[in-house]
Amino acid sequence: MQFDVLIIGGGLAGLSSALRLADAGLAVGLVQKRPSEQSCSNWAQGGIAAALGPGDSPEQHAADTLATGSGLCDPAAVSFVAEQAPAAVDWLLQQGAAFTRPGAGEPLHLTREGGHGRRRIVHADDATGQAVMAALLPRVVDHPGITRLEDHIAVDLITAAKLGLPGLDRCLGIYALDRTSGQVETLAAGAVLLATGGASKIYRYTTNPDTSTGDGIAMAWRAGCRVANMEFVQFHPTCLYHPHAKSLLISEAVRGEGGVLRLPDGRRFMSSHDPAAELAPRDIVARAIDFEMKRGGYDCVYLDISHRPADEVRSHFPNISRRLEGFGIDITRQPIPVVPAAHYSCGGIVTGLDGTTDLPGLYAVGECSHTGLHGANRLASNSLLECVVFGAAASAHIIAARRPAEAVALPDWDESRVSDPDELVVVAHNWDELRHFMWDYVGIVRTDKRLTRALHRVRLLQEEITEFYSNFRVTNDLIELRNLALVAELTILSAMSRRESRGLHYNRDWPERLPEARNTVLDPQL
């Protein structure tokens, strides 16, 4: 199968890019291992940051982003995104996104979240991602220029260098496993755009769906691309703590609208950790919760918005209210038990502001990329925004450099020397072990000893995974485990190389912040 462009991933970055490219007349192949409804984008609650309110400006939005990023943001990337934010919101409105308005015909309702100096969060109640995806998905499904390859997971990128072709290396396509048939297919394209999201499933506790396995980051690294700032993993401060709940995030907007954090005895504690209290950036709030839980031996802390009018709470957070009622929690009367959980990967594949990577023909957009926007910590509600802004920029570059698939026969996937896996329990065991030691050793608070232990453990796991991958037919779980182990190693190596504490990375052995901010860049060529 041949396409002008292959897009890997069906979240907001993938869908918005697919529509722009297909509207320009390019033949697009959209590869999705799970339905778009199971993407991080669809699960996003808070909203999209844009300077649309009175007295606000892109410059102020940029200033808040830079402050949250702890000195590591690229000012050019930050300014670019802040300036493009109003246009991104307008584009989504044109696609039919039903954002919340106080009344029919009135301006968009703007809420506020931690780290923002003003109300600038465009939202659709407390389910913004779902509303945005609901607007885009029907257009993608019906578009004649988009071929959807559902239940397909990318195995690896096909490059000229891997095939031993002369001349400049470039991306030629991908191998993808059809999860239904079990067959690996060869897909050729003039350009490949990675929109695979982050890698929070390397941790035991996460707010992310099961799709967040770092596939794009791992494939790009194996193809020779640099990655940067992998140590900066954002732990969302407030994930529901309940034995029957999985990955249920409690939106930042709950604190933005007056929710307060309390210990089990009812005492507030955030003001002793930061002057901004509950509205401090996520890294500070997550570390404060982690500190209080460990100091007091608590299983969780509590997020309380019951002091606000009940009708107002239910109106502003209808989906959270409804979901929690299913667990027997009435947020208008009871505090919500919460714990921090891995939420967002601030590092990723090194790209330019047009989505280009180190490998010609390969682009990366969204959470799998590193543009310099987030620095050492992502400002709330800049993630959906990033997907739309850089999706547009990458699409424009692909359209301008339009290139057909190479006129070279790509070899089929070789299964001549492998057999069916005999003990899949090995894969399940390694997955479980990886997520446990990453949580214990490479979590919110780190030490040199913990990181050394984690590196030793992950390399032992990789030996087992490589042996399994070399001798047995690939499965979805094996592909994801292979990618997760690699991304975990890159995260550990990045954390070990940073001899300071900055933003989301806190190391007890290096508690001070260095005067000069430097990115951690790993290069597979070195």
- Residues of 167-184 as b/e, b for ≥16 C-beta within 10 angstroms? eebbbbbbbbbebeeeeb
Domains of the chain: 2-231+346-400 (3.50.50.60), 236-342 (3.90.700.10), 425-511 (1.20.58.100)
Q: Which residue has the tokens 């502003």?
A: 316
Residue 345 exposed, middle or buried by CB count within 10 Å (0-12, 13-18, 19+) = buried
Angle at 12 between CA 399 and CA 218, to 5 degrees: 80
Calpha distance 278→259 (Å, rounded): 8
- With H, G, I as helix, E, B as strand and everything else as coil, classify residue 480: helix
For residue 246, what pLDDT is reported? 74
Question: Is the predicted pLDDT of residue 107 greater than 90, yes or no?
Answer: yes
Give yes or no for residue 74 having a pLDDT over 90: yes
| Cα 184 from Cα 178, distance rounded (Å) | 6
- Compute the distance between CA of residue 282 and CA of residue 236 in angstroms, rounded to an integer: 6
In our burial notation (b when 16+ CB lie closer than 10 A, e otherwise), range 354-367 reads bbbbbbebbbbbbb
Give me the pLDDT at residue 103, please. Answer: 85
In this predicted model, what pLDDT tens digit does every residue of 393-437 receive, in sequence order? 999 999 999 887 777 789 999 888 888 877 777 788 899 999 999
**What was the pLDDT predicted at 301?**
97
pLDDT of residue 100: 95
Return d(Cα 15, Cα 11) in angstroms, integer: 6
Please check the confidence at residue 335 and state whether its pLDDT lies above 90. Answer: yes
Please state the pTM of the whole predicted model: 0.92
Most confident of 83-87, 248-252, 313-317: 83-87
Name the token pair of 228.
């940067």
Q: Reduced to 3 states, what is the DSSP secondary structure of residue 415? A: coil
Q: Average pLDDT of 195-222?
A: 95
Looking at the annotation, which residues are catalytic? 282
Q: Which pLDDT does position 104 carry in this prediction?
A: 83
Burial of 34 (0-12, 13-18, 19+ CB in 10 A): middle
pLDDT band at 244 (very low <50, low <70, confident <90, very high): confident
Beta strands in 137-232 (DSSP E): 146-150, 152-159, 171-178, 184-194, 227-228
Tens of pLDDT, residue by residue over 263-284, are 999 999 999 999 999 998 888 8
**SS3 (DSSP) at 55:** coil
Instruction: Read off the pLDDT of each residue in 104-128 and give the average, rounded to a whole number.
Output: 91
> Nearest Cα to 30, choosing from 146, 164, 119?
146
Average pLDDT, the chain: 94
pLDDT of amino acid 281:
80
Q: What is the pLDDT of residue 65?
A: 97
Q: How many CB atoms lie within 10 A of CB 416?
A: 5
pLDDT in tens, 163-203: 999 999 999 999 999 999 999 999 999 999 999 999 999 99
CB atoms within 10 A of CB 103: 7
Query: Measured on CA atoms in the order 61, 258, 271, 440, is the torsion positive or negative?
Result: negative
pLDDT digits (tens, 9 = 90+) for 425-474: 778 889 999 999 999 899 999 999 999 999 999 999 999 999 999 989 99
- Is residue 249's pLDDT more than 90? no
